[in-house]
Every structure is written in C-alpha cells, then in structure tokens.
Amino acid sequence: MYCVEFKESHFGIITDNSEKERLIKLFTWENKNISVEVITYGATIRSIKIPDKNGVIADIVIGFNNIEGYQNPLNRYFGATIGRVANRIKNGKINIDNAPFSLFINHEAHHLHGGLKGFDKVVWEHYVDGKKLILSYHSADLEEGYPGDLVVHTIFELTNTNQFLVEFKATTTKPTVVNLTNHSYFNLAGHNKGPAELYKHVVSINADRITDVDGKLLPVADTVFDLRIPKILGDIIKKVPNSDGFDHNFCITKGPEQGNTFVARLYHPDSGRVLEVYSNQPGVQFYTSNYFPENPNTYTGDKKGLKILTGKDGNYYKHGALCFETQNWPDAPNHKNFPKSILFPGETYYHYVAYKFSVNN
C-alpha cells in the first residue's frame, strides 16, 4: 500500500531580471515517519523532518523560512540543485572537441558550482506525475560560458520505505560538460543544533582514495581521510591537514559495472537518527561547512566583521552541518584519467541518489 501524502502550496514571490514576478511553489511529501519539502527556487530541498528514537521530530536540513533567505548572499547553496557543473573548474577553463571555453570566475581564480547564476539561483518549471515532482530548467547556449542548450530535469520522490529519491537528467544540443548534485546540509540532531552536536556524529564513506586540488589520486589508508571504518567526526575534523575541516572529493569504491552503490553513512548516537546515501556517481564531496560564519559566543579571535547567518529558527555557524554531494570528480574535463564528464547530443546524463533514513534504538 502506497501511503505517502503529497501536496502543493506557495512559498513566495521573486522578481526576475526582466522585472517579471515569479511565484515560488513549495511541495510537501509525508509518510508515517518523514516529511520533506522542496521549493521551485533552485530545485531546493528546504526541509526534512524525522523522529528520533523517542519519537521527537526534528528538521535535519538547514535552510530558510522565506524566499528572501534563499536570495541572501550568505546562502551557501542550502539544499539546492547545483549545475551546470558542481564543484570547481580550475581557472574556469575547459576544452571540448579542441575548442576552448571560458567559464565565469566566481571563486578566487576558479569557476565554482555553475558560476555567478547557477541552477541554484533560478526558478524551475514544475510538473507533477502522481507523487513524483519533476522540476525542469532550460540552460541556454553559453550561459555562464557553457556551450549548448541544456535541458535539465530534477525528479524528487518520497517512498513509503523512508527513502527520499533524487534523479537528475539532462540532454544537450552541443557537446558540453555536466556534473549535477544536490547540496543539502545535514545535522541529524536538528538543523540548528550547531557544531557541538555535529561533532558527535559517526561518519563512514565508502572510498579508498581522494582527489587533491591538482587532480592527484591519493590513497586514504593511514590518513584522517580513511572513513571506511566509522569515525566520530569530532575526533578527526580538526586533524584535516591544511583545512578547517573536510572539503574533499572521495572516490567511491565500486566495480566497473556496478551502478547504484553505498556511498556514506551518518549516525547521531544521542537521537538514534541514521542517514545512508546511495548513488550511481563516482564521487562524493564531503563538506563540513568550514566557511560558515564563526560563532561570536565561542570564537576567540577578532570578532570585528563577523557575519550572522540566520536560518530557520536560529543562526548557523561554522561546522554546524555537513554535506554528502554525490557527483563526478572535481575539474573532471581537465583530467583525462577522470570519469567521463562530456555530454554529447543524443546522450542523456543520468544521476541517481537515494537518502535512506532510519532510527537506531
């Protein structure tokens, strides 16, 4: 018996570049254990509410209460669909069929998460098929520097087995680069519980290698990056070399013909909440919100200029949540030994990710 309820409502109104008002829709799924919300701005997961081992319900993804929050420059891609290419393209340069293309530079000297106005900052068209939500966007030829008209569909569905499924599909009119992801931040204690609770989480990732910023493949054995055996995050997060936490691509261990496979597991012992991630992608960017504002109540450095990032029911601070961004490896078009990143006319890009929720009593 399919026991998921699904409904549609309004979330807000924005004015686009043509001064035209656009209505932002909010869609909600509920089964007997979980409720999930998605908005059409950025094809964004806004809320996931699940009970703990005592039946107490909490929202476990960070976000905002209104559309103005999602337009805040401090928004770090909260819950959004990222594209045309997630992660970094070094120096914003790609070469396709011996033709060079320059992408918009928006992160130091590099192109990050689709550029100035990536897929996270546009209003997606919506279509409902039963209890599936299909959001669509047409990315025009040379938008942010990418060749080809790209038509993208992001498909969301909650199952009665407590899995939230996301599928990405894309087709193009010219050879182009595609690497989509969802950028949800999780804290299984509750979205606003902060770093003290995040540090209690036990994390594991099915990867025996990572990539460094220059594209080298590095084994995780005997390093802080070896998460094949579960580790308490607070025991390792401050041991990451040359970084304030994790912000690294982990190369998922899978056979050559293996499709969907286990990616990562997150467990919060106090609440008993568990998240497992499965995907067909070769990598996952594990990020621990290192660039969120410092908490002025605990920060011991110079507090001048500290910014406040206010989300749902409170402020968000550094190390307050984490991401598992399933995707291709960063800067893939510039590394011949990396998984294929070029999409050709006649092909369909396909990316599957499942977020499976449970409670350990």
Does 142 score more than 70 pLDDT? Answer: yes
If asked whether residues 122 and 265 sit together in one domain, one would say no
Q: What is the pLDDT of residue 259?
A: 84
| Parent domain of 164 | 5-184+342-357
The residue type at 319: H
The enclosing domain of 319 has a CATH number of 2.70.98.10
Query: Quick one: 153 and 241 in the same domain?
Result: no
Give the count of alpha carbons within 13 A of 207, CB side only. Answer: 33
The pLDDT score that the predictor gives to residue 2 is 58
User: 14 with 123: CB under 8 angstroms?
Assistant: yes
> Is 163 in the same domain as 246?
no
Q: What is the pLDDT of residues 48-73, one digit of tens each?
A: 999 999 999 999 999 999 999 999 99
333 and 351 assigned to the same domain = no
* Whether 314 and 283 share a structural domain: yes
Residue 184 annotated in ligand binding: yes
142 and 209 fall within a common domain: no
Annotated catalytic sites, by residue? 183, 325
Annotation-wise, does 183 bind a ligand? Answer: yes
Same domain, yes or no: 213 and 84 = no
CB atoms within 10 A of CB 170: 23
Residue count (the chain): 361
Say whether pLDDT at 144 is over 70: yes
As beta bridge partners, residue 70 has: none
pLDDT of 336 above 60: yes
Q: Is 243 annotated as a binding residue?
A: no
Residue 314 main-chain phi, psi, to 5 deg: 145, 180
Report the number of distinct structural domains present in the chain: 2
What pLDDT digit, counting tens, does each position of 245-292 carry?
Answer: 999 999 999 876 778 999 999 999 999 999 999 999 999 999 999 999
Burial of 255 (0-12, 13-18, 19+ CB in 10 A): exposed
Round to whole Å and give the CA distance between 60 and 48.
6
| Range in 25-34, 86-95, 129-138, 298-307 the model is least confident about | 298-307
Judgement on whether residues 201 and 218 belong to the same structural domain of the protein: yes
pLDDT bin (cut points 50, 70, 90) of residue 361 is confident
Residue 146 annotated in ligand binding: no
